[in-house]
Chain A
């Protein structure tokens, strides 16, 4: 035990002391935020602006109304053109397309209006044009039906809205739940991929440096492997705790700044609301559990692969590909599970240890025992424990042979042979 703790210490300290650790700890959240805000920003600004010529033969779409609708939504600009306009020359006149509105009866409208253009635009474009034209059209229809302004107000505001209320969890909020689900699922995904490959590289380093033989003359290979995995998992945990601490810092800092600062108070409100709507201690506990369980499950496999490789990084990539694929597959299942947290994909994904660290974490914020019954959680947890005991045991056998085996080309077949040899 004393030797394992020495190994853990070394693995932990050499990594945490590196500048790279500090850098990734600081930069990762920034990049993550940048990614989210960046894509939202790009999405907002890159909306295409189209200029569309309107040839109105019906008389229901006067220039004034078109201008008014342009003010409301400027992503597509309507311009009324006279009859002398030659539709075929729309490009020359600076338009992206044209619409001919033929004569029509106000009771029926027209379902066959064409937006003529020379490029295929996205689905959204059609919708926007339709909405804009329909808004103008409904004015006309209202007028014909004799509906006055007061009645129009009623038509606009009188509607029904539905919100889900879960009997098991009064505070449940499916938006907050999916956000937390996504965030924790992604976080575990990143940790598994990044730190899993760190385990693999670490084992490879020890093998190619030939330090492995020196160390295993003092400790058992299993102790060396376990020490490395635990050490690196602690590094990942440290990083995670720093991030959690930052969130709390923002929370309490915002509270201190108080209501005077609008930005701070909305931030505090947001966090408070999120905290209130989920069972935070349970989520944090489960996160730690699935994080550690998943990490042991996968990183021991990565360690086994690292031990089988001789210096060749390409070999490492091709051998670790099936493992990486499993992790990516978990992420795909997670997105399905968040859309339908009670469905069969969500159920099986959160039970089987290959995918449960990511999928179950995404499901949990929807509520225990509401969405995830206690028996499912218990089953998933025990299967994960059994799972990582199995992979660690298998990996240890591969590792023991691989770490001192040089020159032999590693393959899955060879590794399985090492694993199941007596």
Chain B
């Protein structure tokens, strides 16, 4: 069952095809990473999913039914990349107000906020104003406000930017907890190490188009280059063979790329015959960062403006 399905979604602005025919499916309960360089169209895509923008064409299905901003936005929690809160409003009042806009009753909202504030040790914040908070603190508050109404779909745009490692871990744990409780999470970022840590499924967009979509493990497998790392007690100064190409040669470590059709055993056999005392031998999968760079490379850093019509 997919909580969200997007079919041939398009949104053109005057000078840019921000989202150009993107289709995707988000499984209920999954944690999905939406990746892409700056200006790839991530935010525009998310704004359509959250009902802020109307698509030019295409279809969005929420829980199998046509997405209706009127009712479905209450089931979505969206934390935009640019954080925003009323600076002069008291934090407690503000959280209650924003929760009520999401359809919670006043008493319900108050109760849940107290619960969250207690768990994240924010109880003393209630009567403070947002302008009194540090950047990291207001980030935490923004997160709480986003998930307060217990949405089925949580969309977080760069949720860790500006957070110190302790608070980042705190939020990360909360994300896992929410996921365990059945929420689906879309997580938009260009910080790859976080994606590798958190997401099971990734979608990569570039220049308004989807260029990659799949399980993280599968993608890594698809992009592997038959590179193996060998560590040994002592390596001969010169290692060369028709079986592999040497990528990197250090005193106790060797990085090799196997030639097509060559098996691990053949390489090991060869090395043993050479008298190398092998300590470890394992495959090196490409990091998401490498994959990302490889796929996006060649496209200019900033998108050029173009004629759309």
A binding-site residues for B, Cβ under 8 Å = 3, 6-7, 10, 14, 205-206, 209-220, 404
Contact = CB atoms under 8 A, between A and B. Distances in A.
Contact of A218 (B80, B85, B98): B98
Contact of A404 (B52, B79, B98): B52
Contacts of B89: 14
Contacts of A209: 84-87
A196 B87 CA distance: 22
Contact of A216 (B52, B83, B85, B87): B52
Interface in B65-110: 69, 73-74, 76, 78-80, 82-89, 97-98, 100-102
Contact of A213 (B74, B82, B87, B145): B82
Nearest to A209: B84
A218 B73 contact: yes
A210 B100 contact: no
B80 A213 contact: yes
B50 interface: yes
B51 A214 contact: no
A10 B99 CA distance: 13
B80 A210 contact: yes
Contacts of A210: 80, 82-84
Contacts of A3: 101
Given A6-B101, A214-B85, 16 more contacts: A209-B84, A209-B85, A210-B83, A210-B84, A211-B85, A213-B80, A213-B82, A214-B78, A214-B79, A214-B142, A215-B98, A217-B80, A218-B102, A220-B69, A404-B47, A404-B52
A219 B83 contact: no
Nearest to B79: A214
Most A CB within 10 A of own CB, among B82, B88, B101? B101
Contacts of B88: 14
A220 B87 CA distance: 22
A22 B246 CA distance: 80
Contacts of B84: 206, 209-214
A121 B80 CA distance: 69
A210 B79 CA distance: 11
Nearest to B89: A14
Contacts of B51: 217
B279 to A, nearest CB: 53
A200 to B, nearest CB: 17
Contacts of B102: 218
A4 B84 CA distance: 20
Interface residues on B, range: 20 to 34
13 contacts: A6-B101, A205-B86, A209-B85, A211-B84, A213-B52, A213-B80, A214-B78, A214-B84, A214-B142, A214-B145, A217-B51, A218-B98, A219-B101
A10 B97 CA distance: 8
Most buried by A among B51, B52, B69, B83: B52
A217 B86 contact: no
Contact of A211 (B52, B69, B86): B86
A356 to B, nearest CB: 35
Nearest to B99: A218
Contacts of B82: 210, 213
Contacts of B50: 217
A369 to B, nearest CB: 47
A205 B47 CA distance: 21
Nearest to A223: B101
Contacts of A404: 47, 52
A215 B101 contact: yes
A219 B98 CA distance: 10
A214 B98 contact: yes
Nearest to A219: B101
Of the listed residues B84, B89, B100, the one surrounded by the most CB atoms of chain A closer than 10 A to its CB is B84
Nearest to B130: A209
A206 B86 CA distance: 7
A217 B76 contact: yes
A218 B80 CA distance: 12
Interface string B113-143: 0000000000000000000000000000010
Nearest to B54: A400
A156 B51 CA distance: 83
Nearest to B87: A209
B78 A217 contact: yes
B151 to A, nearest CB: 11
Contacts of A211: 84-86
A206 to B, nearest CB: 8
A211 B145 CA distance: 12
Contacts of A206: 84
